[in-house]
A and B are shown apart, each in its own frame.
Chain A
């Protein structure tokens, strides 16, 4: 083996066992595993909420959820949990922790203890949010928490305060984690791995970490203002005291728009690794790919008010946000075409991770082009706050980010647990999910075109047809998810022993040089990356 990996020290020395191994863990792999478990819990809870919503919406009238506040709480908690406690812990905390140190040849993260507290803050955030859901009727504010609806007049009781604290705590965990990634990636790359030779997943994590460090504090500031408005008599967002509810929307979306890139850029990174591996080619236009992500990150900070076209912004302001938003299509296009160019001329194996990556590319394009439509403030008046928007952002997140998560999961599962999943079962999971989510979300474009508003528990009878189809899609997705849980169980109990590199010569990054499962300590001796001709 070319690199120092599981060496003479043995791989299971010097660390606590039992519950202390996990609770006190400072090991990037264990913490990554805990993040993935947290994401699985978050994903199942958030998914369960969306299935309850789809159950209620499967036919007109109020059948299953007659408590309207509870419906609004489901809508709000589904959004918050999926964003903060499923997608982010899976992509950043989970794969980031597990894979980034392995990819750059570092023995661990730069600040292992901070890594531990990042995780437990995030877990605490989920507990607080679930507590909020069962307190004083729950926060029925939408994940956007717009005042005055979220103010103490319209949401008295501690539910919204608990939700705010949840985001504070989870956000603090994210900021600490992001600082850890930035420091690790900048300082702990193996000798020879220049910035321009880092795998794209590392680039993606670095860009994401910068977005987190810059965006999360703005959310925290806004949340604090909301908290003091609610409890200590300030009036930042209250008209009666000279405040302005629209100020919250600016603060929220200044965070909220970068947040969508925080969720999708790590998936970009994963898809880049997978496409390259399974095409047996290096990524096409590597530098363009890396800087496209950086560009998306930068532009992502100056487009926030495209979520607010109908709030009464000045027309010139809206015109600016239209222009800025459309610019994002350019680096995004570079990424899409570079992935295809990576496949072009390749020798492609369509194993399960590659299926998810290809699914990601096409469905992300569908969500991306409806994004171009929505970027236009004029016609957006027809789509704003309708199911068209719901379909759009579920295509980029539920079918984009989540496909990235599953792609990464199948790609690295063997490396993480030491056993290889069944290829046939993985493909069944992919096709069930692909069919299910498209059946679920594609008809929502039609509902949105016809004018169906978001976040309503009942709808005019004319919308019942496509809603029923959409709910059928949710049923297929549930079957796919159960299949996935069974697959994971089978892999742990009866999976074949995973090879160090199950993917062949296309897999060139460092994590494939260590055994599977990756030993507790890796790269105790720093690997040296041979100088390589330009990409």
Chain B
């Protein structure tokens, strides 16, 4: 039912960034009822799958509702004073077992295709490692000279105009577009979850484990997400902010960032111990 209005939501989402500049800013919008606009092939496929499945489940729900309404009108006490004695109908029972099976098979084919597509990328061009802490993130770029930094939420009183409350961070993740990026996650303390809705990414960060996922960002812009596993007091206050830029701009940014975060570029042994 929500998806019936999804086109409105998508329309609003498409209009909003057009007014604010060329870059896409994927963040939730007031009264939004559908997904944030997709910025990766994975999220595009999730949206496709959702649209496909949505009409199936709406049809099922409306079918049940229609049957119940029909019963309420046709078979109430007044219109049908004598109940029928029928309690069996083998054909009907076989049908309402078999047809749902067929529908489920139809759903499962694209579902499995999507699942295996999402799992990981064969040819990663670079790696981003996100490490969770109570209650902030740290990011590591192992392919870019051990560049690493921490990322904290900007408190409401320090926000600059245009920075969304509870979503903007001090040091955002910067990534290149049109690049297969391997995303590794782990945690320093409790379990958290690194999530960016516009990428269709949601990777649990588990102490003692490294989880792998991937993203290929299709549009330049700023994308927001939030920690998605209850992790204690400030669970709601450790957002994720990703700025996707051209490959050129990314190369430039890494050089600047290496200077900015030079203090973090410790010797290998220390770094490995910290990143665990």
Please list the residues of chain A having a beta carbon within 8 angstroms of any beta carbon in chain B: 60, 68-69, 72, 75, 140-142, 146, 148-149, 153-154, 239, 244-246, 279-286, 288, 310-312, 315, 318-319, 322-323, 326-327, 329-330, 333-334, 336-338, 340-341, 343-350, 358, 361-362, 365-366, 369-370, 372-373, 376-379, 381-382, 384-386, 442, 445-446, 449-466, 506, 535
Q: B200: which A residues are within 8 A, CB to CB? A: 381-382
Q: Is the CB of A452 within 8 A of B28?
A: yes
The A-contacting residues of B in range 181-223, CB under 8 angstroms, are: 189-191, 193, 195, 197, 200-204, 206-209, 211-212
Residue from A338, A341, A459 with most neighbouring chain B CB atoms (10 Å): A341
Q: How far is the CA of A154 from the CA of B189 in the complex (A)?
A: 9
B71 & A379 in contact (Cβ 8 Å cutoff): no
Q: Which residue of B lies closest to A391 (CB)?
A: B2
| Chain B 152-168 per-residue mask, 1 if CB under 8 angstroms from chain A, else 0 | 00000000000011110
Q: Which of B84, B208, B235 contacts A239 (CB 8 A)?
A: B208
Contacts of A358 in B (CB 8 A): 68, 72
Q: How far is the CB of B31 from chain A (nearest CB, A)?
A: 5
Q: How large is the interface on B (under 10, 10 to 19, 20 to 34, 35 or more residues)?
A: 35 or more
Q: Is A312 in contact with B206, judged by CB distance below 8 angstroms?
A: yes
Given the interface pairs A376-B115, A379-B49, the reply to whether A348 lies near B57 with Cβ below 8 Å is: no
Give chain B residues whose Cβ lies under 8 Å from the Cβ of A341. 89, 92
| Known interface pairs A330-B104, A347-B77, A347-B82; A319-B65 also in contact (CB < 8 Å) | no
In this complex, the member of A246, A369, A382 whose beta carbon has the largest number of chain B beta carbons within 10 angstroms is A382
Instruction: Find the B residue at minimum CB distance from A469.
Output: B31
Which among B36, B53, B204, B212 has the greatest number of chain A C-beta atoms within 10 A?
A: B204
B237 — which chain A residues lie within 8 A by C-beta?
A: 458
Residues of chain B lying within 8 A (CB to CB) of residue A381: 42, 46, 118, 200-202
Cα-based distance from A355 to B55 in the complex (angstroms): 28
A315:B32 contact, CB within 8 angstroms: no
The answer to whether B229 touches A385, judged by C-beta atoms less than 8 angstroms apart, is yes
**Across the interface, which residues of A come within 8 angstroms of B97, CB to CB?**
330, 333-334
Please report the number of residue pairs spanning A and B whose Cβ atoms sit closer than 8 angstroms: 289
B269 contacts A by Cβ under 8 Å:
no
**Which residue from B76, B82, B112, B208 sits with its C-beta under 8 Å from A245?**
B208
Decide: A319 near B112, CB < 8 A? Known: A283-B87, A445-B2, A456-B226: yes
Which of B84, B228, B233 lies in contact with A453, CB distance below 8 A?
A: B228
Does B22 reach chain A (CB closer than 8 Å)?
no
B253 interface contact, C-beta 8 A: no
B249: interface (CB < 8 Å): no
B227 at interface (Cβ–Cβ under 8 A)? yes
Residue of B27, B60, B85, B100 with most chain A CB atoms under a 10 A cut-off: B100
In the bound assembly, the distance between CA atoms of A358 and B69 in angstroms comes to 10
Task: A458 to B155: give the CA distance in the assembly, Å.
Answer: 13
A406–chain B nearest beta-carbon distance, Å:
18
A322 contacts which chain B residues (CB < 8 A)?
Answer: 108, 111-112, 115
Chain B, 108-146, contact with A by CB distance < 8 Å: what is the 0/1 string?
100110111111000000000000001000000000000
- In this complex, the member of A140, A246, A379 whose beta carbon has the largest number of chain B beta carbons within 10 angstroms is A379
Closest to A242 in B: B208
Inter-chain contact A465/B30, CB cutoff 8 Å = yes
Closest to A249 in B: B191
* B204 and A285 contacting across the interface, CB-CB below 8 Å: no
Question: Which residues of the partner chain B approach A326 to less than 8 Å between Cβ atoms?
Answer: 104, 107-108
Least distance between B108 CB and chain A CB atoms (Å): 6
19 pairs of residues in contact across A and B, judged by CB atoms under 8 Å? A142-B230, A146-B190, A149-B231, A245-B191, A281-B87, A288-B93, A312-B211, A319-B112, A322-B108, A333-B97, A340-B64, A369-B60, A378-B45, A382-B50, A449-B32, A451-B225, A451-B226, A453-B227, A461-B164
Chain A residues near B86: list those with CB within 8 A.
Answer: 281, 284, 345
Given the interface pairs A362-B64, A376-B115, the reply to whether A340 lies near B71 with Cβ below 8 Å is yes
Query: In the complex, what distance in Å separates the CA atom of A455 from the CA atom of B235?
Result: 8
Q: Are B233 and A451 in contact (CB under 8 A)?
A: no
Residues in B with CB closer than 8 Å to A362 are 61, 64-65, 68
Question: Chain B residues near A454 (CB, 8 Å)?
Answer: 228, 230
> Which residues from A are CB-within-8-Å of B134?
154
Contacts of B233 in A (CB 8 A): 68-69, 72, 140
Once bound together, how far apart are the Cα atoms of A452 and B227, in whole Å? 10
Q: Which of the listed residues A315, A344, A366 has the most CB atoms from chain B within 10 Å of its own CB?
A: A344
Q: How far is the CA of A451 from the CA of B32 in the complex (A)?
A: 10
A453–B81 CA distance with the chains assembled, in angstroms? 51
Given contact pairs A312-B209, A330-B97, A463-B28, A141 touches B230 in the complex (Cβ within 8 A): yes
Chain B residues near A330: list those with CB within 8 A. 97, 100-101, 104
Q: Is B264 an interface residue (CB 8 A)?
A: no
Q: Which of A285, A455, A458 contacts B93 (CB 8 A)?
A: A285
Instruction: Report the bound CA distance from A187 to B197 in whole Å.
Output: 55
Task: Tell me which residues across on chain B come within 8 A of A385, comparing CB atoms.
Answer: 193, 195, 202, 228-229
Q: Measured between C-beta atoms, what is the minimum distance from B132 to chain A in Å? A: 12
Judge whether B43 is part of the interface by a CB distance below 8 angstroms.
Answer: yes
B64 touches A459 (CB 8 A): no
Are A462 and B30 also in contact (CB < 8 A) when A283-B87, A322-B108, A385-B228 are? Answer: yes
Is A453 a contact partner of B236 (Cβ separation < 8 A)? yes
